[in-house]
Every structure is written in structure tokens, then in C-alpha cells.
Structure 1
Amino acid sequence: MRTFAPTAVVAPPFHPRASPYEPVLARASVRWAARHGLAADPDAAQRLRRANAAELAARAAPDANPTGLQLLSDLITWLFALDDVCDEDGIGADPGRISPLVSVLMQVLDQLGEPAGAPATDRPPLATALADICGRIRRQGRPGALLRFAASLHHYLFALVWEAGNREQGRVPTVAEYVQMRRHTGAVLPSFALTDLAGGGLPHSRHRVDPKLARLNTVAADLVCWCNDLFSYDKERDQDNHNLAAVIAHQTGQDPVNALADAVTAFNDGLALYLRLQAEVLADAPPPVVRLVAARRHWIRGTYDWSMNSSRYQ
């Protein structure tokens, strides 16, 4: 895929940028992960370092303030750690094993950053680290951002159980079902929430309910997830069917090469749609909407650039 994607996928026509704080972010996120027990052994620590969450955060939010950017980098680190637990420990294919962990993590979210009733030692490291993230959001004094983050991460956790059920049953979802659920399994929406918090917050709700802006947000999330699918396909195609190319192949009966080409076409068409929606949304848009649209552009381009070199897909 590494030789195919760069030549077939249309590079997002946005200027690539990255925050100058990336080296500081990287060191701080490594220390944060170690402090919360997310890197329990040398192999886990090495996987997290190689994933380079700080680079993705720096590219996705180049103009964010350092505090907000560190929060985003730590969230991405947490997501990579949870993904590794699901893969390495096999719980991502067993609903009965992942459900207890999801329950504990949902309890943390339900507490909305308040101190947990149970001692921290009674919680798994992923729950302790998530409680830290929620608490830091709460201390920024933006309750709307905290509620939005918690709601979108709830959807992500539910989607992990959906994936585990599919894997246990050997079930391949339809393309339409996969596209809908992929927006949640990719954890892009909670990442958007922290990106917007770091960039000054969301537009007023009257703007957020505008169908064109809502559609643009969804298309941006799709593009981030599909970019991930395209660059990870070569590594994961014999291990997991939760990939846009894999579900296209299953539904249409195509061979992997043609299905992958169709997935690339879906990405390229989605990018063209995003550009049209962007032009419509930005016509006479107020500054908060302009900031949101810029943030989505950075995520799309940042994911593409990070994916091109990420050791996570090698």
C-alpha cells in the first residue's frame, strides 16, 4: 500500500503545517503515558513511541495553544494505547472481554472529570489516564466542550463493542453500515472536540446545526478515517475486515486490488465534496465557523502527511 497510496490518493490541497511545539509534546506525552501505566512493558512503550501521537496532534492543530495541544496529544496517545490493548491482548475480538473495560471507561466519562469514587488503584491504567484527560478539560472551564467530548467518546466505546461482535461472529458489515460506524471507531469526533477547544472553542449552536456545516464535519471525519484505512490496508488486510477496502471487496465480490481502487476513489470523491462544502460554508461565515473549517482542513491534511511516514502502518 505504501507504493500505491501516494500515487493514487489525491493529496489534500491544503498547505501542510505543524506546530513548533511537537518535540515538547512528544516528550511530555511519553512521560504522561508512563506515569499512568499505559506502557506497561518495553514493547508497549516502544509501540507508543513509534506511533508518534505528538506529530499527528501537531499537524492536526498547528495553531493550537500549548495546553490544548498537549491535551490532544495525550488523547491520541491514549487512543493508540487502547487500540494496542485491543489488538495485542485479543479483547478487540471478544465482546465478553472488552465490555467490562468499556463499562469502566464509560463510568469515568459519566463522572465528567470529577474525582472517582473508587481509589485510583482500583481502576485500570486506561481509566486512570482517561480520568486525567477529563479532569484537565473540566479545569479549562468550558463545560460544553467537556460534554461534547464525553458524548463522542461514549460513541467510540460503543463502536469498539460493535467491532468486537463482528470479529467474534466472523461478520463483515455492509459498506453503508461500515461508513456510518467508522466515524465512531476512528475516534475522530472526540479528537475534533479537543482540537476545537484548543483553538478557541466552537461556533454558536445556531451555526453548528446548519446542515452544510454538519455535513462538512461528517465528511471531514470520513476522510480522516478513510485515509487511515488506505494506508493501513496492506498491513491489516489479512487480520481484520474493518477497513473500507475490505468491506467493498466483500460486498461487491471484487478482488483486493479493485476494491482498494474503489476505496481510493471514495476518498478522492469525498475530498472533492469537502472542497465544495467548504466553499459554501465559508461564504459570509463568522470567525468561529472559519476557525472550525480551518481545523478540519488541518486534520485532513495532517492525517495524510502523518500517514505517509507513520511506522504504525509498517
Structure 2
Amino acid sequence: MSSAIYCPLPSALNPNGAEAQAASLGWARRHELLPTEALYTRLEKIQLGTLGARFFPDASADALRIATDWLVLFFLTDDLSERPEVHPIDTALLLGRQVNVLRGTEPSQRDVPMGSAFEDLRLRMTSMFSEAWFARFADKVADLFAGFAWEAINRKNRFVPHADLYLEARKTTIGLSPLIELADADRARPAGTAARMRPDVARLEGQACSLVGMANDLFTYARELDEGDYHNLVLVLMREKKIGAAQAEELVVGMHNERMRQWFQLAERLRHDDPDEGTRRFVTALGHLLRGHLDWAYENGRYQVSPTLPPKVAVAREEGSSG
């Protein structure tokens, strides 16, 4: 049996998750984001309200609803970018127009219904958060959508990136960066720009993106192998090292766990010793994103967790002991 995915961070849950889930489903229906009732049922099964509640356990009810609505758009655009019948140039143009709407351009008729949802999100975000914060959020969404387009072009050309290139790109395509901005927005003492540019804090943020990307790839590689989509670290290593799925899975679990130990050591030092309260709270917020993704992935209906992975995430501080 494969080693456990190591995560020494505690679970947390916002009590407003169920309300956010219902509100976001209603929001998706009002904007007619999906063409069939079956797709709304599928969206409900993903439990994005629970994901938002695990990501943002301390967020206000209004901020949690905004975050959950963004998660709806994230998953829908991710799925759209992976549709083989859509040419990658068309994907890139569509996603680029949504970024423009997010930045203030009026949506056109060809962007209905998605454009109206992005416009609504922009209006609500700018009424709640600062202009400088929103500009950072929009920039992170633009980077994410550029990553989606890169993956779509690779699929069209049957190009499989090597591991180093994939790992660097995965920091963006996993989609954690916009969520990090949301985690740093709805707090009385957000981490300042200068604090987040410090090498140790920036390293912690980048490593968090890598860790969620690795864990996500472990949860999804069996499905992506069936679909012929090689944007997955397990599948990249299978091809690059000419090894089987179980061996590649074990390698990725080991990479994840070693990086998690490094992340946790640095995070604990900053949480306990850094003189800036905003920085300490930011580090805690990153931990909620890491742990929340793992908890949700084992619970939701989107991912089929590999049968060789353990049914529980290891939560002990020392590997080999049970949580």
C-alpha cells in the first residue's frame, strides 16, 4: 500500500458552508451557467460550499459566498478548457475576454452567460475589498487562465512537458493563487505587500501551490490517464522515468511529504516568531488552504481517489503514527 499523504495541519470548517453552497447554486442558476439540470446536479455533488468552508474557516458569510462563487467559475472554466472539441485558440480568447470583464470591460453577447457572472463577481468584490487587492486578484486570474490555455495547446499538440517544466507551471494551473488573495482579503490585519515579498513568506506561498498541485495530481491521475491528459505529475513521471503507475505514485507521495515537512517547519517558525501579526495570520490561512483541499478531496464527488492511496490523510506530526 502506498505511503500516506502527510499533513500535520488541523482541519477547520466555516459554519456558513451549507448556506454558501445553496447560495452559489442559486447564483449559478440565475446566471444560467450550465445548459442542463444534470450538470447542476453534478455541480451540487462537488460541494464547493464545503470546499470554501474548509479553505476559509474564519471568513464572514458574505466573503465566503464570494469565494464559493469564484470556485464555481474556477471549476467551470477549468472544465471548459479541457474540452477536446474546443480549439485551444478559442479557449484562450474566451478566457481572455472573461479577464477583461473582470477588469471592467462590459461583457458582450458572445460571452453570455459567463460574462455576466464575472461582471457580478467584480461588482461584489470591489464593493467589499480594496481596489489594490482586486487588481492583484484579477492579475492572478489572468495568470491562471493563461496556464489553462497553455495546457489546452499542449493537449492539442500531444505535448507532454518534462517534470521540471510541469512543476513550475503547476504552481499556476492548480489555481491556488487567486484563493490565497481571497484568504488574505477578509481579515482585519491582512499581510502587507512588503511582508509577502519577503523571501521566506514568498517561498511558503509558492510551496503551498506546489503541495496542493501534487496532492491534486495524486487524486486525479487515474481519471486523467483514462482521458489521455498527461498534465499530471504522476503521469509525467511515468513517461519520463518509464515506470508504472504505482511506482510513480509512490514517488509523488514522497515528494509531497518531504516538501510538506519543509513547509511546516518554516510555517511554524513564522507563526510563532514573526513580529508581524498580519504575517502570522497569513501563514495560518495558507495552512487552511493546504489542509482544506485534502479534507475536501476525500469527501467530494469530483475526484476518484486512487484505490492504492490510504482512506485517511495522515495528520500526525511524525510520519508512521496515526492521526
Q: Could you tell me the TM-score, scaled by structure 1's length?
A: 0.91
- Structure 1 pair 51–90 and aligned structure 2 pair: CA distance change class (3 A): farther
Compute the RMSD of aligned alpha carbons. 1.7
Following superposition, the deviation at residue 85 of structure 1 comes to: 2.6
The structure 1 segments of at least 4 consecutive aligned residues displaced by more than 6 Å after TM superposition are none
- Partner residue of 1:189? 177
Following superposition, the deviation at residue 302 of structure 1 comes to: 0.6
Paired residue type of 2:88 = P
Following superposition, the deviation at residue 312 of structure 1 comes to: 0.2
- Structure 1 pair 201–90 and aligned structure 2 pair: CA distance change class (3 A): farther
Provide the identity percentage.
27
Structure 2 residue 155 is the aligned partner of structure 1 residue 167: yes
Partner residue of 2:289 out of 299, 302, 313: 299
- Structure 1 pair 118–86 and aligned structure 2 pair: CA distance change class (3 A): closer
Paired residue type of 2:262 = L
Following superposition, the deviation at residue 99 of structure 1 comes to: 2.1
- Structure 1 pair 25–222 and aligned structure 2 pair: CA distance change class (3 A): same
Which structure has more RCO (C-alpha within 8 Å, separation ≥ 6)? 2
What do the CA deviations read for 1:224-255 (whole angstroms, capped 9, x no partner)?
12111111122222221011111111221222
Instruction: State whether residues 48 and 68 of structure 2, in contact with CA within 8 Å, keep that contact through their aligned partners in structure 1.
Output: yes
- Partner residue of 2:102? 109
- Partner residue of 1:281? 270
- Structure 1 pair 118–234 and aligned structure 2 pair: CA distance change class (3 A): closer
Q: How does 1:218-297 map to 2 (within 5 A)?
A: 218-239=206-227, 240-282=229-271, 283-297=273-287
In 2, Cα distance between equivalents of 1:90 and 1:290: 46
Instruction: State whether residues 107 and 119 of structure 2, in contact with CA within 8 Å, keep that contact through their aligned partners in structure 1.
Output: no
- Structure 1 pair 171–289 and aligned structure 2 pair: CA distance change class (3 A): same
Q: Could you tell me the TM-score, scaled by structure 2's length?
A: 0.88
What do the CA deviations read for 1:96-124 (whole angstroms, capped 9, x no partner)?
2212212211211332xxxx4456x4523
- Structure 1 pair 216–173 and aligned structure 2 pair: CA distance change class (3 A): same
In 2, Cα distance between equivalents of 1:268 and 1:234: 20
Paired residue type of 1:99 = A
- Partner residue of 2:317? none
In 1, Cα distance between equivalents of 2:165 and 2:4: 23
> Please, which runs of 5 or more residues in structure 1 have no aligned partner?
none
Equivalent residues, number: 302
Higher fraction of helix = 1
Structure 2 residue 128 is the aligned partner of structure 1 residue 133: no
Structure 2 residue 1 is the aligned partner of structure 1 residue 10: no
Structure 2 residue 60 is the aligned partner of structure 1 residue 65: yes
